[in-house]
Every structure is written in C-alpha cells, then in structure tokens.
Amino acid sequence: MDWAGLIFSTFFGTLRDVFPIVLVVVVFQFLVLRRGLANPARVLTGFVFVVLGIVLFLIGLETAIFPLGRGMAEQLITQAISGVNGDGWLRYGWIYLFAFAIGFSTTMAEPSLIAVAGKAGDISGGSVGVFGLRLAVALGVATGITLGVYRIIHGLPIHWFIIAGYLVVVMLTATAPRKMVPLAYDSGGVTTSTVTVPLVAALGLGLAGAVPGRNPLIDGFGLIAFAAPFAIISVLAYAQLSVTMSRKG
Amino acid sequence: MALNFLSLPDIPPRLRPKLVRGPRIPPVLRDLARAFGDSVRDLTPIVSVIAFFQILVLGQAPDDFLTILAGMLCVAAGLTLFVAGLEMALFPLGESMANGFVHKGSLSALIAFAFALGFGTTVAEPALIAVCAEAARAAAVAGVIADDPAAIARYALELRFVVAFAVGIAIVIGVTRILMGWPIHWLIIGGYALVVVMTTLAPREIISIAYDSGAVTTSTITVPMVTALGVGLASSIRGRNPMLDGFGLIAFASLTPMIFVMGYGMATN
C-alpha cells in the first residue's frame, strides 16, 4: 500500500476541489460585500477541519471500503453469471441483496446528507428528526438502486422507471405536508456523492459488461439516477407518516 | 446533531463573536469525541454489509486486516472533522454572506454570486470530470462524434461546461424563487415534465448520461454552502420561512443538468 502517494494525491486533489469555492467566497466577501469575516480564526479553523476531514475520509474509503466493495461486486457478478446460485430470481438474488445493502449503507455514511439533515433538524427546531430523515433517504436509495439493477439485468429502458418514479413524486407532493416538500426534493440531490457513486457505478458497469446482451456504454450508466426519485418518494412518505402518526397519538 | 455549542441559530451573526470567544478548548474536545461516536454509528451499516458479504456469502476473510482497520479509522476521523468544520465554517459563512447580500440590497451582486457558486464549484468537480470522460468515450463508440482522442477530449470538455453552466443557472433560479416566494413544486414538477418531453426527443445514448449528470453535480463542500445560502436568504428576508423557502436549491441543481445535457445532445446530433 503506497500511503505516501495516496495521501499526497488525495490532499492536492481536495485542495483543487476546494479552490473554486474559496475563490468565489473571497471575491464576493471582500470585493463585493466589502466586509471582514465575523470571526476569522474560527472560520479558518473550520475550513481546515473540512479540508482535512475530506482528505482523511477519502483516504480511508480508498484503502478500506472501495477495493473491498468493488472486488465483492465483481465476484458476486461472476457467481451469478456462472449460474451456481440457481435460476430465475435466485440466480441474481445475492446481487439484488447487495445492491439494496450497498445503497442503504453508503447513504447512511454520506457527508452531504448528514449536513443537510442536520441543518433541517436545526431550523425546524427539532420537529424534523435528523436520524429518521436519513433512514428514510437511505431506504429510498436502496430501493432505487435495487430497481436499477433489475433494469440492467432485464435490459429495460431507463426512462420508464424514472418517469414512473417522478409521477409518484408528483402525486405525493399534492398530499404531503408543505414544509417538507423542499427538503424532500433536496434529499434527492444530496443522496449520491462521495461514498455512493464509486461503488454503485462499479456495480452498474460491471453488471452491464457481464450480463449477455447488455452494452456497458449504454446500460452501465443511469444506475445513480435511480437514487434521486426514490429518495424523494421515501422522504415524502416519511413526512406523511409522521404527520399521520402524530395526529393519532 | 452533536456540537450544539457551535451552532447558535437564533443569534444574529454580528453578535456571535462575543459569545464564542473565551476558553473553549475542553468543550471542543468533548464535542469532537461525541461527534466521533456519531461517525462510528454512521459507518456501522457499511462495515456490517461488507463483513456479511465478504465472510458469509463469498466465504473469505479480507487479506490485509490492519490496513482495513487503519482505513476505517481514517474514514471515521475524517467524517468527524468534516461535521465539526461544517458548523464552524461552511454554515456560518454561507449564512452570513446571504445576510450580507440582503443588507447590501444589490440584486445583481446576489445573482452573480449564485451563478459563480454553482458554476465554479461544478466545473472542477472530479466525479463530473470522470462521468464526462466516460460519456465522451461512449459517444465515440456510438458514432455520435469522431473516434479520435481530440474529438473525445473536446466533447468531454463541452459536456463539463454545459453541466457547470446548468448548475449556475439552477442556483440563480433557486435564489430568484426564494426572493419571489414562489412555491417550489410547480417549478420542479414543470422541470421534470420538460425532462420527460425531452427524453422522447433526445438521442438514446445521451439519456442515461444526462440523468446521471444530474446526480453527480453536487459535491460534499457545495451542498453545505448552497444549503446555508438558501437558509440564510430565507431567514434574512421578511415573510420567508427557512423550512419552506430555504431548502430546494440543491433540487434545482440536480434538475437543470438533465435538461441542458439532453439539449446539448439534441443540438450536436
């Protein structure tokens, strides 16, 4: 394991990633708004924490989680294609379970979702449960990724699923508590980021390359897109459920 | 969320420095420890999933247990620092800037900031660069563009700028919505209706890529900044509710790239 190289490249990659934000903030804060920071030392420390945090997080993912996850996706796909698990649903059974479990568990560890859920908990004065919200999003993503895997295995067109998903979103929007609607829409966008994308993309591209008759270039993409509508559906459903429960209780 | 001492939601930003100054090293350490506990809890599912499939389904133990343990510790420590840094820097900064723009009263400055934040943070996003490179290769194989490195690189770069431009526009639309107090669902549902219509017209190769580009645009640093901008604007403007009006910027940022990428696919076809 080349730790030095990994630390070096991750650190500079993250700095390059953070640079545009720092530039935009500095230009607007000092040249357009023309005022100093309220508490420069604290903000600077916080920024260093964020950058170091992302670097450590990525290094850890690269050494501990991604190689194992990608390797397991490959092995499970090879097993399924060889048919040792039986036929029909059983043939791809472990793949479906793996897709669901990976969708759920990577979403629970997603830093952007932790940020948005925490903010929502703060400004709602605690009426939005932070953990419940993240649980709902993670279950939604898990369901979406599982359906996405089903689509790749059976070679169905992606837009049927996505359009059907958003039709359900429209119907739920009409009845869900109004204050939860913007938060639910945002959850769709933040679910897939640092942890989820590399693992899910590896699963999608691997499956599309291995299942006979699929083209990885056409069928391998689009698995990530399944996460968003299903996360929105499950947050809207969660909001509806908590309102119904509190009325009864 | 832990770290309550760091977030002072009801106090105007200009009053904050006085309150947070003073001896605060012990509480920082105590709260970091608590945040570390939260991080371990957040990572338990992924560790269990990997252990379950590795040992019970595939029947093998991981080769290098120590490396994996060190990696897991890095992940937990990184998540802890990130969450602490959010509360100390990104959230207060985003909110105080939103507040600053409202007090300055310059609409054009706010709109320029919104666009720069969306465009600037997306154009350098590694996940987007990776997806665009894959997409360009797919387009070359499908015969949409010439199969030579120069054409592929040009297509990937154009796609990246299209997506970054789309995210810039998304944040501008989202900020305008907060200022005007428009309900979000009409805009989002209208946007997805447009996505559905364009899906039937766009070339097939571009559709999955367009859908994915909507999902990879929002990075770990962009999300807290954009969320803080929205919540800060909604809290600074009279008659706006942070819950009802503050959220939703990210939703636009996942929607417009689909529309713009499909439009790009139709234009280049």
H/E/C letters for each residue in chain B? CCCHHHCCCCCCHHHHHHHHCCCCHHHHHHHHHHHHHHHHHHHHHHHHHHHHHHHHHCCCCCCCHHHHHHHHHHHHHHHHHHHHHHHHHHHHHHHHHHHHHHHHCCHHHHHHHHHHHHHHHHHCCHHHHHHHHHHHHHHHHCCCCCCCHHHHHHHHHHHHHHHHHHHHHHHHHHHHHHHHCCCHHHHHHHHHHHHHHHHHHCCHHHHHHHHHHHHHCCCCCHHHHHHHHHHHHHHHCCCCCHHHHHCCHHHHHHHHHHHHHHHHHHHHC
Shared-domain flag, residues B265 and B189: yes
What's the token pair of residue A198?
Answer: 């590399």
ipTM for the complex? 0.88
Q: Return phi, psi of residue B62, to 5°.
A: -60, 145
User: Is the minimum CB–CB distance between B206 and chain A shorter than 8 Å?
Assistant: no
Q: Do A44 and B250 touch (CB under 8 A)?
A: no
Chain B nearest-CA distance from A108, in A, is: 6
Q: Which residues of B87-101 are buried (b: 16+ CB within 10 A; e: fewer)?
A: bbbbbbbbbbbbbbb
Task: Look at residue B6 in the predicted model and tell me its pLDDT.
Answer: 45
For residues A61 and A193, is the Cβ–Cβ distance under 8 A? no
Chain A nearest-CA distance from B95, in A, is: 12
Residue among B42, B53, B231 minimizing CB distance to A119: B231
Q: Do B216 and A173 touch (CB under 8 A)?
A: no
Chain B nearest-CA distance from A207, in A, is: 15
Terminal alpha carbon distance of chain A: 55
Shared-domain flag, residues B117 and B216: yes
Q: Do A53 and B124 touch (CB under 8 A)?
A: no
Shared-domain flag, residues B158 and B98: no
Shared-domain flag, residues B100 and B128: no
Q: What is the residue extent of each domain of chain A?
A: 1-64, 85-248
Q: Which residues of B57-86 are buried (b: 16+ CB within 10 A; e: fewer)?
A: beeeebeeeeebebbbebbbbbbbbbbbbb
Shared-domain flag, residues B97 and B171: no
What's the token pair of residue B163?
Answer: 């997506």
Q: Return phi, psi of residue B150, to 5°.
A: -65, -45
CA A248 to chain CA centroid, Å, is 33
Shared-domain flag, residues B146 and B76: no
Shared-domain flag, residues B174 and B251: yes
Q: Which ranges in A109-195 belong to alpha helices (H)?
A: 111-123, 130-154, 158-175, 181-190
Which of A10-14, A36-40, A105-109, B195-199 has the least mean pLDDT? A36-40
Cα B94 to Cα A20, A206, B6, B82, B230: the distances in Å are 15, 40, 15, 16, 9
Q: Do A60 and B72 touch (CB under 8 A)?
A: yes
Q: What is the phi-psi region of residue B230: left when phi exceeds 0, alpha when psi lies from -120 to 50, beta otherwise?
A: alpha
Residue among A101, A130, A217 minimizing CB distance to B141: A217
Shared-domain flag, residues B21 and B98: yes
Shared-domain flag, residues B50 and B61: yes
The C-alpha angle with vertex A171 and arms to A165 and A176, in degrees rounded to 5, equals 115
Task: Look at residue B8 in the predicted model and tell me its pLDDT.
Answer: 44
How many residues can be counted in chain A?
249
Q: What is the pLDDT of residues A60-110, one digit of tens each?
A: 988 888 888 888 888 888 888 887 777 777 788 889 999 999 999 999 999
Q: Do A163 and B196 touch (CB under 8 A)?
A: yes
Taking contacts as CB-CB distances below 8 angstroms, the residues of chain A near B72 are 60, 64-65
Taking contacts as CB-CB distances below 8 angstroms, the residues of chain B near A60 are 71-78
Query: Digits of tens for pLDDT over chain B (269 positions)?
Result: 444 444 445 555 554 545 445 555 566 677 788 888 889 999 999 989 988 888 877 777 777 788 888 999 999 999 999 999 988 888 999 999 999 999 888 899 999 999 999 998 888 777 788 778 878 887 787 777 888 888 899 999 999 999 999 999 999 999 999 999 898 988 998 998 898 899 889 888 788 788 878 777 777 888 898 999 999 999 998 889 888 899 999 999 989 999 999 999 898 87
For residues A183 and A248, is the Cβ–Cβ distance under 8 A? no
Task: Look at residue B3 in the predicted model and tell me its pLDDT.
Answer: 42
Measured CA to CA, the distance from residue B110 to residue B173 in angstroms comes to 12
- How many CA atoms lie less than 13 Å away from A67 in the CB half-sphere? 14
Chain A nearest-CA distance from B192, in A, is: 7
Shared-domain flag, residues B70 and B167: no
For residues A133 and A117, is the Cβ–Cβ distance under 8 A? yes
User: Is the minimum CB–CB distance between A26 and chain B shorter than 8 Å?
Assistant: no
Shared-domain flag, residues B91 and B77: yes
Chain B nearest-CA distance from A242, in A, is: 17
For residues B245 and A185, is the Cβ–Cβ distance under 8 A? no
Of B43, B75, B105, the domain-final residue = B105
Closest alpha carbon to B76 in B27, B28, B41? B41
For residues B251 and A185, is the Cβ–Cβ distance under 8 A? yes
Which residue has tokens 């897991």? Answer: B72
Of B43, B70, B105, the domain-final residue = B105
What's the token pair of residue B53?
Answer: 């499939």
Domain of B67, in residue numbers: 1-105
Instruction: Please give the DSSP secondary-structure letter assigned to residue A226.
Output: G
Which residue has tokens 């989680």? Answer: A65
Q: Do A186 and B196 touch (CB under 8 A)?
A: no
Q: What is the pLDDT of residues A133-155, one digit of tens each?
A: 999 999 999 999 999 999 988 88
User: Chain A neighbours among B 57-116 (CB < 8 Å)?
Assistant: 57-58, 62, 64, 67-93, 96-97, 100-101, 104, 106, 109, 112-113, 116
Measured CA to CA, the distance from residue B93 to residue B160 in angstroms comes to 28
Shared-domain flag, residues B57 and B144: no
Terminal alpha carbon distance of chain B: 49
Task: Look at residue A20 in the predicted model and tell me its pLDDT.
Answer: 86
Instruction: Provide the domain count of chain B.
Output: 2
- Give residues with Cβ within 8 angstroms of A193, minimum separation 6: A110, A111, A112, A113, B127, B218, B219, B220, B223
Q: Which residue on chain B is closest to A72 by alpha carbon? A: B54
Q: Return phi, psi of residue B107, to 5°.
A: -65, -40
For residues A197 and B259, is the Cβ–Cβ distance under 8 A? no
